[in-house]
Amino acid sequence: MSRIQAIAQTMTAPVAIKTKLSVDRLSMVFERDGTRTEVLNNISLEVGDGEFVCLLGPSGCGKTTLLNAMAGFLSPTSGEIRVDGEPVRHPDPRRIFVFQERGVFPWLTVEGNIGFGLSRLPRAEREQRIAHYVKMVGLQGFEKTYPQELSGGMKQRLEVARALAVNPDMLLLDEPFGALDSITRLVMRGELLRIWEAERKTIVFVTHDIDEAVQLADRVVVMSARPAAIQRIVDIDIPHPRDISDPRYLELRDGIFRQIGLAHKI
């Protein structure tokens, strides 16, 4: 391997990447029973093509609302979200939302779930794609199994496979590993990174777990409590696979801990 190649490989994000998603002065206000709740306050953010961005903030701060707006499930009170320059007005299979939990359809088997978005494809191609993604997320042998009989980690992998099968440009993941035990969560992060490196989708990943954000993301967007505003955007300039005892890793993590205002001593 030449030195240039080696250098190229250690670079996490290419320079001057194309903008995939842009959020422009987005605000979100919910009105219910006459009371106004300001959830998002003047958020501006750009996400590059193929980039992995984590939205990090305390629970209930509005990061899920932001993700829902990116998906097109909610329309903003003011401001705009654009994908590839086009304003987002409704959900679109080019950007698939992966839900916190129970997002898979319990009435369909593993195969049925992965093939859900592929009903327009010819049968042979559909089956080939299903087989490909079954293998990618390691669910071989469970094709005819219903989600009820799968573990939490398997269900979450199934949902990621269902999302990837329609070949979206972008994945929007809402605390996808939040309900899993800590060991499964670690394994799933590794799996997600492996898939991301293979498919190079743009990923926006919501989490309240600082370690998770620093392990996964190219950039971590640190958000404040409600109404959520962007406090800081942290570049994670460590190549994958990341060593979680690396001094740079700890430095970045501790920086975010301080930013959020937590002492990291228990």
Partner 1 sequence: MPGQTAALARLRLLLRPVAFIAVLLLLWSVAVRRAPGHLLPGPWGVVGGIVDLIRHGLLLKYVVASLFRVTWGFILAVVLAIPLGLAIGWYRRAELALNPILQILRPISPLAWIPIAILWFGVGDLAAVFLIFIGCFFPLMLTAINAVHSVPAVYINAGRNFGLSSAALVRRILYPAVVPHLIVGLRITLGIAWLVVVAAEMIAVSSGLGFLIVDARNAGNRYDLVVAGMLIIGLIGLLLDLGMQSLENVRSFRWGYSED
Among 30, 42, 77, 116, binds partner 1 (CB under 8 A): 116
The CA-atom distances, in angstroms, between 117 and each of 54, 92, 130, 134, 207 are 26, 11, 11, 14, 26
Binding positions for partner 1, 70-109, rule CB under 8 A: 71, 73, 90-93, 96-97, 99, 102-103, 105-108
What's the CA gap between 36 and 261, in Å, rounded? 28
Query: Rule CB under 8 A: is residue 166 a binding residue for partner 1?
Result: yes
Between residues 47 and 98, which has the closer beta carbon with respect to partner 1? 98
Q: Which range of residues in 21-29, 140-148, 192-200, 202-210 is near partner 1 by CB under 8 A?
A: 140-148
Among 2, 5, 148, 182, binds partner 1 (CB under 8 A): 148
Between residues 23 and 166, which has the closer beta carbon with respect to partner 1? 166
Sheet strands side by side (includes 19-32): 35-48, 19-32, 78-83, 86-87
Please tell me whether residue 44 adopts helix, strand or coil conformation.
strand
Between residues 83 and 230, which has the closer beta carbon with respect to partner 1? 83
Between residues 104 and 210, which has the closer beta carbon with respect to partner 1? 104
Using N-to-C axis directions, what is the helix angle for 152-165 and 182-199, rounded to 10°?
20
Tell which residue, 46, 54, 41, has the closest CA to residue 21. 46
Alpha-helix runs per DSSP H in 25-85: 63-71
Question: Given the structure tokens 């309240």, which residue do they identify?
Answer: 208
Look up residue 120 and give its two tokens: 């327009």
* Minimum CB–partner distance for residue 193 and partner 1 (Å): 23
* Minimum CB–partner distance for residue 56 and partner 1 (Å): 23
Query: Rule CB under 8 A: is residue 115 a binding residue for partner 1?
Result: no
Between residues 3 and 120, which has the closer beta carbon with respect to partner 1? 120
Task: Tell me: cis bond preceding 247? Omega within 30 of 0 counts.
Answer: no
Look up residue 230 and give its two tokens: 């962007």
Between residues 105 and 257, which has the closer beta carbon with respect to partner 1? 105
Among 146, 167, 184, 209, binds partner 1 (CB under 8 A): 146
What's the CA gap between 215 and 193, in Å, rounded? 10
Interacting residue ranges for partner 1, rule: CB under 8 A: 71, 73, 90-93, 96-97, 99, 102-103, 105-108, 116-117, 146-148, 166
